[in-house]
């Protein structure tokens, strides 16, 4: 692959170790290249005045200009280069990370154990999938001339005079390198295997939709921020969501969605009522299930073992929906790596419920929807831009 065809990545982190680790991850993926590595947001803006990357990896806490300040400049200047946040898993980090999403970041990856961790390889697959997913889409848009140019006039105040004169960024002054083990971790991605079930057959005709369930993963935060503001506030069905996200983040994530959605959005708690006008987000590291009772339906949380490597798991949620609602649900599977949710969405389909899947073109990673599609579990494939209108239509027409 020619260098010009590769997804170019700008790495922005004040830690020399982290820049080195992220570079190794990027370079382990043949379709990507490191465009440059800089130590803070101001250097990143200077670099953008010379060349625009296809995607940016951005730390939050940095000297001189931090991640939030960089995103604020990006928003005011109006350039659209996708940004993936690398964040601490601390509680304070969760709040700041959600603020980054509100300011336009596309998604985030949590640093495993602090800003100087050599364990970044544990999230390499997720980071690669986000960089490739968002970066490839933006790369294609740039090639077709459909992106806005970087507004150099608006970034002049952030550009040093040496850059103006010579068109080069000052070399980054590296921190002292932390000794790195010669037994470096491998960043190669595991091969995903999928078992297919053949053509599916509905065992019952679709009934009235009484609940809506969504399973989503990689690219999900940005996708849900696109869908939720457009949901009809008159939707009568409760909505339950599994978004793969680490503990400590889902409460802040739900709060951030609640600010832009006309329905109530909150993190699910044990015993929460499932009621019209409410969207419940599964907490990180807890499975979400539902139970129909004579007077009301409620949510349950559990610490049951991981399924498909996840807790919460979309398969667990869809299985619960099938057991409790049979043919009276709408199951939706959206952008995400892997195949979580596909098997039990197929079971939900066989039980007679209606199903939707996000299409390949608008998915950041067409893994989970593809797996469901190949099982024959999808009634209708829908683009991200059309997903809210489609949910509204199904909810109102079949509710």
How do residues 209-230 score in pLDDT, each as one tens digit?
Answer: 999 999 999 999 999 999 999 9
Are residue 317 and residue 248 in the same domain, yes or no? yes
Are residue 32 and residue 139 in the same domain, yes or no? yes
Strand partners, 265: 279
Answer whether 152's CB lies under 8 Å from 26's CB.
no
The separation between the first and the last C-alpha atoms of the chain, rounded to the nearest angstrom, is 50
**Distances in Å between the alpha carbon of 314 and those of 188, 202, 282, 344, 370?**
26, 21, 10, 8, 15
pLDDT band, residue 3 (cuts 50/70/90): confident
Residue 352 lies in a domain: yes
Residue 373 lies in a domain: yes
How do residues 59-94 score in pLDDT, each as one tens digit?
Answer: 999 999 999 999 999 999 999 999 999 877 656 678
pLDDT at 321 over 50: yes
Please enumerate in sequence order all residues whose Cβ is within 8 A of that of 117, keeping only pairs 6 or more positions apart, or say none. Answer: 111
The boundaries of the domain holding residue 63 are 3-166
Q: What is the CATH number of the domain that holds 134?
A: 3.40.50.2300
Are residue 14 and residue 162 in the same domain, yes or no? yes
Query: Quick one: average pLDDT of 322-350?
Result: 98
b/e map 195-224, b = 16+ CB within 10 Å: eeeeeeeeeeebbebbbbbbbbbbbbbbbb
Q: What is the pLDDT of residue 297?
A: 97
In percent, the amount of the chain with pLDDT more than 70 equals 87
Average pLDDT over the chain reads: 88
Q: What is the pLDDT of residue 87?
A: 79
Residue 202 lies in a domain: no
Residue 187 lies in a domain: no
Residue 36 lies in a domain: yes
pLDDT band, residue 153 (cuts 50/70/90): confident
Residue 304 lies in a domain: yes
Residue 69's closest CA among 22, 104, 18? 104
Are residue 225 and residue 373 in the same domain, yes or no? yes
Q: What is the pLDDT of residue 219?
A: 95
**Total count of residues recorded for the chain:** 399
Instruction: Sort 240 into a burial class: Cβ within 10 Å, 0-12 / 13-18 / 19+.
Output: buried
pLDDT band, residue 156 (cuts 50/70/90): confident
Q: What is the CATH number of the domain that holds 256?
A: 3.40.50.180
How do residues 165-221 score in pLDDT, each as one tens digit?
Answer: 333 444 444 433 333 333 444 444 433 333 334 478 999 999 999 999 999 999 999
120: DSSP letter: G
Are residue 254 and residue 160 in the same domain, yes or no? no
Q: What is the pLDDT of residue 192?
A: 37
Residue 353 lies in a domain: yes
Are residue 159 and residue 217 in the same domain, yes or no? no
How do residues 378-387 score in pLDDT, each as one tens digit?
Answer: 999 999 999 9
Please enumerate in sequence order all residues whose Cβ is within 8 A of that of 133, keeping only pairs 6 or more positions apart, or say none. Answer: 218, 219, 335, 363, 364, 365
Are residue 240 and residue 293 in the same domain, yes or no? yes
171: DSSP letter: P
Question: Could you give phi then psi for residue 190, rounded to 5 degrees?
Answer: -65, 150
Tell me the helix, strand and coil percentages in the chain, rounded to 5. 35, 20, 45
How do residues 91-134 score in pLDDT, each as one tens digit?
Answer: 667 888 999 999 999 999 988 765 455 577 788 999 999 999 99
Q: What is the pLDDT of residue 145?
A: 93
Between CA 351 and CA 393, with CA 207 as vertex, the angle to 5 degrees is 115
Q: How many domains does the chain have?
A: 2
Are residue 276 and residue 364 in the same domain, yes or no? yes
pLDDT at 36 over 70: yes
Are residue 151 and residue 298 in the same domain, yes or no? no
Q: What is the pLDDT of residue 214?
A: 98
Work out the number of other CB atoms within 10 angstroms of the CB of residue 274: 21
Query: Quick one: average pLDDT of 17-46?
Result: 95
| Six-digit token string for 148 | 């806005």
pLDDT at 389 over 60: yes
pLDDT at 164 over 50: no
Are residue 161 and residue 258 in the same domain, yes or no? no
Which among 166, 198, 219 is the end of a domain?
A: 166
In terms of pLDDT, which residue wins out, 269 or 49?
A: 269
Catalytic residue numbers, as ranges? 217, 244, 340
Q: What is the pLDDT of residue 160?
A: 58
Annotate 256-323 with DSSP letters as a single string: HHHTT-SSEEEE--TT-EE-TTEEEEPPTT-EEEEEE-SS-EEEEEE-PPPBTTBSS-HHHHHHHHHH
Q: How many CA atoms are closer than 13 Å to the CA of 132, on its beta-carbon side?
A: 20
Residue 338 lies in a domain: yes
Are residue 10 and residue 142 in the same domain, yes or no? yes
Query: Quick one: average pLDDT of 14-42?
Result: 95
Are residue 271 and residue 381 in the same domain, yes or no? yes
């Amino acid at each position: 692959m020619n260098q010009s065809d590769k997804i170019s990545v700008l790495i922005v982190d004040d830690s020399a170790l982290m820049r080195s680790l992220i570079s190794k991850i990027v370079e382990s993926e043949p379709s990507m290249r490191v465009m440059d590595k800089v130590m803070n947001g101001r250097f990143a803006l200077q670099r953008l005045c010379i060349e625009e990357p296809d995607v940016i990896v951005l730390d939050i806490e940095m000297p001189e200009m931090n991640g939030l300040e960089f995103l604020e400049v990006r928003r005011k200047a109006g350039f659209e280069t996708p940004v993936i946040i690398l964040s601490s898993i601390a509680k304070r980090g969760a709040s700041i990370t959600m603020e980054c999403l509100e300011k336009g970041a596309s998604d985030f990856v949590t640093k495993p154990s602090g800003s100087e961790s050599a364990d970044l390889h544990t999230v390499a697959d997720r980071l690669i999938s986000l960089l490739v997913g968002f970066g490839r889409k933006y790369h294609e848009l740039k090639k077709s001339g459909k992106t806005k140019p970087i507004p150099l006039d608006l970034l002049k105040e952030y550009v040093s005079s040496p850059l103006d004169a010579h068109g080069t960024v000052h070399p980054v002054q590296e921190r002292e390198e932390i000794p790195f083990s010669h037994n470096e971790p491998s960043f190669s991605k595991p091969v995903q295997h999928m078992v297919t079930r053949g053509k599916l057959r509905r065992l019952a005709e679709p009934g009235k939709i009484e609940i809506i369930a969504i399973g989503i993963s990689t690219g999900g935060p940005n996708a849900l921020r696109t869908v939720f503001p457009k949901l009809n506030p008159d939707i009568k069905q409760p909505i339950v969501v599994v978004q793969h996200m680490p503990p400590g983040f889902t409460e802040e994530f739900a709060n951030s969605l609640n600010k832009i959605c006309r329905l109530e959005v909150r993190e699910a708690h044990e015993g929460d009522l499932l009621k019209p006008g409410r969207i419940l987000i599964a907490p990180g590291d807890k499975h979400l299930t539902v139970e129909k009772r004579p007077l009301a339906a409620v949510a349950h949380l559990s610490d049951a073992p991981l399924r498909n490597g996840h807790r919460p798991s979309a398969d667990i949620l869809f299985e619960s929906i099938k057991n409790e609602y049979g043919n009276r649900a709408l199951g939706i599977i959206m952008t995400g790596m892997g195949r979580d949710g596909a098997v039990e969405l197929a079971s939900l389909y066989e039980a007679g419920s209606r199903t939707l899947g996000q299409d390949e073109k608008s998915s950041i990673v067409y893994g989970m929807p593809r797996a469901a599609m190949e099982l024959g579990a999808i009634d209708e494939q829908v683009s991200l831009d059309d997903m809210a209108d489609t949910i509204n239509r199904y909810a109102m027409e079949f509710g």
